[in-house]
Structure 1
């Protein structure tokens, strides 16, 4: 018989109860093998490491796997895996449900900042979709656009049409559905009652009803027996009364039964089936364990037959790139340590300089303090000191600034060492400027400088600890590189690798955890399109838009090429949006842009249009070729600056969501980015998504900045590359609200 390659609805009903026992386990990381096998690594307080496997390719399954059955981590994670890591790392597994009686499982994960729903579609072409709290698709393995439903980033997730649950149907409903069929009993159970072939036959066998009995010939007693058999199966699943089995058969190379041949797995069920009574079987304590064993053996048998899946092979991690990054960080940290040393030494020298000029500084401070005690205004004190300097009084000559608002005076003292001092007050030849608190004496001001030197030295100690940590990371990368190369050499010799946990951890760590980094090196880009609105699609194409009428004109006249696409909104007041087929100085060939790319460009056009400013949640956009765009109006008409005439047919995109994400990109360059969420989430180390709302543009930008800054250990990095002003450049004009 054919080997089972997909779990049935009854199988999933049995699995859900067991998978919910892992509620509370924390997500560690997500991996994606060969675009159809998702692995979620979790840690459970009671059970330790938990591996949740969801496969939606030729094999369709969802279960917790024995760690020994899990392949080594793959190479660089694709965008979908990176998105899941950003959203779900540290999240709690909150439970799983089967959608109606369909082959769909809905996994819930909760985290303090955001919740995520994973929908695993284990039917048809198979798919996994990640949803936010509102049910909007954040990302999916496959984009689905059918008349009946849509599964695409930025859209609300739509389940397939409802199916009858045969395990919960009343006797009257069961008989009505059966009687409406014009087929035989087993086919009606399989299709109209959604049982599938195997369990339809099982129900017939348990009820003692001939499978091929035409419906019109079936008696009421036979239908009652069928319903009773079906109800008993449902009760057994609901009560957890299961007795899992993995069924085997022994066949030779020609597919004939052969008791001497090694047995192969053919089916896994939550309880023994009468239909399989002639097959040997192996019992298990849990159905999850049986499913795991079955698919592990199935994969091994496929591999032996020459059909090994590609997910078990790991591409080479970018060890050299990570080593170079760590070395750059060390160089920066060494420079910071040297700077701290110089700053601490300068503060101590300032304090010593105050004591070296004690009488002069004391005269300045006493004069100012006495004047303030006599309620002399600060401007008069400054005038008195200026007059004293003109008369050649040394104490007055030493004062170079008076700040009444801060209550300070700045003195310039001769540096006996003759060295130029580089301090925050400035330097001038062999002198040093020192800002003094006019309400305190020389000792207190000098002590403040000593305390500052001590504080800087503490920062130096922190930097030294950080550099040691970075050096350890560097050595760890080098060790992983050596181990990986050694493992590859062993694999080349034996054809096998270690599927244990250690190997997986070794290979997965090459990806940088930017949020936890103590110091992030800044690599600022300088791009020709920075002054426009812009983003890169999830497929890598540049999209640029005008910020005003002048830029709209410039984009069309200077930067639009013949193979590009021109987008605009139906609503008035939208930017010219161009999807580039190439750079401004590059030759381009015709491009067959994907539907995902076109939808992202349309969402960009809609989100920066008056649709957002007017508070609409969605809008319509259209696309044309460049040769359809003209500045020549019809006779007697006038075109405003920044507007154009469109001639010919248009491709429309309807009900495009108004959504924009802003975030911080850390590799390969460091910068603030913004655009449609599906294009930003996988490029950003952290991001915030907006929809039209109540907060003014500058307030929304500040909210995003504070949110992003709190997620990074190196908050100064966020200040430098993604300040509120820079984030505001990516926000649409009008009110906004954070949606995640």
Structure 2
């Protein structure tokens, strides 16, 4: 969930949390917690530290972890006075009637922080960064605050940013993927820098409009608390919570049964490690108590040996209570020997805890190895997959689901137009000599502005401008009737070349950038190199590239290894020239 998603969920569900009582807290696994909250009825609030919060029923463990026992002591049965999001970030805070605060940070690996009077009493994960420290005894400080998207400084921030419009809105205002929706609603070029004229007010109005939440919308690869422009949801729900629950189940089911089995085993190992640590702590404490009350215990042992006090004569054991701790003493042993027995037990428990932690690490490695194997197996299927007719050309699928094809050479440049340019299609070309003919296929669908913009980026990136190191270039599109082999009288039109007549519809300052990722098309997984937004709208693992100094052949080998495809196939996907990595997500690539 992004910051806006959390904001929307709280707006929808605040009254189901505030003034309610926390009845019980559970830890489901390493990163998931469940809070039973009673207001008008009891609801189960699922919180995953990797970025999820919504009401959902989950199976709860029988035994609480040590951390959960601590949370229950502080928050069990207490009333929630206030429930809020901190600084429009992925952080939620429960303020309780006993002065405590329970804070969940839902980014990166996540954290749970217990705060009293502004000071951290305990953290699930203690961490230190350059700008803050999450440590016991330190004051709680949230991460550095971004700008509020509903604030008055939107235009000032946009105009002073070194990024283009969409990245500034995404990064500086925590809007993430919704930044593109703002640009679309405002009718502002997402790739431009700064605002001019009435664009400032249009941007502000568009931002306010996306804060108008109603229901929940699940798309093929994400979700939102409002309908997105140009996208058709797979399912619409009356509440955002229902949409999150549906999407959350879909994500959980993506892990195989074998991976889930290993995760369950790892949780059991984690519980054992906690139990062994608890036993070690107790045994060491008893050993210390025996030495701390040396004289008193020596006298008790002597009295037992003389028969002056009762003890278990069969097993020769004497039970005593010291400082609230029950201690079993062997009357055949001295005080020092009894203490040593407990210290020896503590040592054994420490070794067992260490063994359990090593087993957890081994399980984590097994899960990682299994997931890699499953990915390799999946990619082997890609090699044996069905092949589509358009793969003989350069191709990609736009974020609106429109197929775009382009020629690879003179022969295929001739073919894409002669064989595949239909009456309802569009013809696109970069404004430079030495660029492929690009056909935007309608196939019965309406070709939207997004598809045209993405096809323009594809056209300029696959031209010789890439090898020349251009940063941006213009492209134009025309209707099929404007494309022919009829030049001026006596003009020779070479094979693969086409003549464009009439008005050209230009798109200026198109950045030379592409993205590569594995996508699904008609139920088939395949590696796609296309316009940046077309790829990132279809997969969460991708790499964004621009013209650069990395040799194309070297980069192709890396891509081939990552996606499990032949190097030759990777080479066919890439643009004509050196590569520079601009951004990567979910992929390990240098």
Which TM-score band (shorter chain)?
A: 0.3 to 0.5
- Please give the TM-score of this superposition, normalised by the length of structure 1: 0.37
The answer to which structure, 1 or 2, has the higher relative contact order (CA under 8 A, 6+ apart) is 1
